[in-house]
Amino acid sequence: MTKLTVKEIWRYPVKSMRGEMLAEASVGSGGIVGDRMWVVRGPGGAMIPDRKNALAALLDCAARFDDAAGAVEITLPDARTMMLTDATKDAVRDALAKLVAPQEITLWRTGPLRPDAPDDVDAVQLAKALRRVFAFSPNDATFPDFSAYPREALRSTMHSLTRYERRYEASDILGVDFFPMNVLTEATLRHLEATITHAPIDRRRFRPNVLVADDAGLAEPLERAWEGHEVVIGDVRLFSVLRCVRCVMPSLGQAGVGAAIARDPVFNPANTRAMACVGTYASVLGEGRVAVGDVVRTPSY
């Protein structure tokens, strides 16, 4: 039997910046604690049009959470570091503005993923809403059957959808795009390497929270079989809600201290259909801790 284990754990304290690799992490209802603590927005907290491309230069910065200082440390492309707190956010904004000019930016703390979905979630309406949000075709046979999802998974999915649809509100900013956890397997990367790139893929392009290894050297998108099922990592219970729908982000370059990833249009789903869905979105059903080396228990393994 193939054994799946946690290969890497990643946290991204500032959305759109590179993150930090962890040996272990606490996972709450909103994902890894400290993930997407800050987000870059436009004036007054407004969403920035074409945000991924407009803020592409932020990928040349790295962010990590400094537990001792209780603040986020940002490493700029020239290797200078700045501490990001409520008191210093204007100074940090000014430094980042030079990278994304002429775009006007502001920095905002993100809020928690509060449970605000009704107890009785209509699976049919939820599926329709998700099809609309992610532009899935009504004839897409691989779209999951939400009527088979357990109630707690439907509720956690609705929590995320509700917050996502309020993403333009500056008064209640959510850091993640949609679901709180992003899980990717090395088997999926091998599959893409064998069928699309014919060259090694740097997993950092896909910004996973958890990278999963297998002991069989598989080259297939294992995550597809997890959709609609519980996935247990360490003592954390996740629910694989939906394949991870991708945007232009994986195709962008990443430079700065510790990174040298070239811009590559093959990773843009607009150019390569296979890049449209890579990895899985997961909600959190049971909080706890995850660590590198933890066994990953799925419905297939």
Tell whether the model's pLDDT for residue 7 goes beyond 70.
Answer: yes
Query: How many C-beta neighbours within 10 Å does residue 84 have?
Result: 24
Tell whether the model's pLDDT for residue 134 goes beyond 70.
Answer: yes
> Do the Cβ atoms of 288 and 25 come closer than 8 Å?
no
* Low-confidence winner among 147-161, 208-222, 287-301 (lowest mean pLDDT): 147-161
User: Between residues 144 and 40, which one has the greater pLDDT?
Assistant: 40
The domain total for the chain is 1
CA 94 – CA 78 distance, rounded (Å): 15
For position 208, what pLDDT does the model report? 97
Mean pLDDT along residues 173-179: 80
Terminal CA-CA length for the chain = 7
Tell whether the model's pLDDT for residue 249 goes beyond 80.
Answer: yes
Range of the domain at 127: 4-297
* Low-confidence winner among 166-175, 185-194, 271-280 (lowest mean pLDDT): 166-175
> What are the start-end ranges of the H helices in the chain?
51-54, 89-100, 123-134, 151-164, 186-192
For position 114, what pLDDT does the model report? 62
Residue 143 C-beta-side C-alpha neighbours within 13 Å: 18
Measuring CA to CA, which residue among 202, 223, 201 is closest to residue 301? 223
Tell whether the model's pLDDT for residue 172 goes beyond 70.
Answer: no
Give the contacts of 160 (CB within 8 A, at least 6 positions apart): 113, 178, 179, 180, 241, 283
Tell whether the model's pLDDT for residue 126 goes beyond 90.
Answer: no
Longest dimension (CA), the chain: 54
Label residue 295 by pLDDT band (50, 70, 90). very high
Evaluate the CA torsion angle 175, 181, 185, 188 in order and state its sign: negative
- Tens of pLDDT, residue by residue over 46-105, are 889 888 899 999 999 999 999 888 899 999 999 999 999 999 999 999 999 999 999 999
Tell whether the model's pLDDT for residue 9 goes beyond 70.
Answer: yes
- Tens of pLDDT, residue by residue over 222-247, are 999 999 899 999 999 999 988 898 99
Determine the residue type at 93.
Answer: R
* Low-confidence winner among 20-29, 106-115, 121-130, 290-299 (lowest mean pLDDT): 106-115
For position 118, what pLDDT does the model report? 67
Bridge partners of 28, per DSSP, are 31
Query: How many C-beta neighbours within 10 Å does residue 220 have?
Result: 14
Tell whether the model's pLDDT for residue 286 goes beyond 80.
Answer: yes
pTM for the model stands at: 0.92
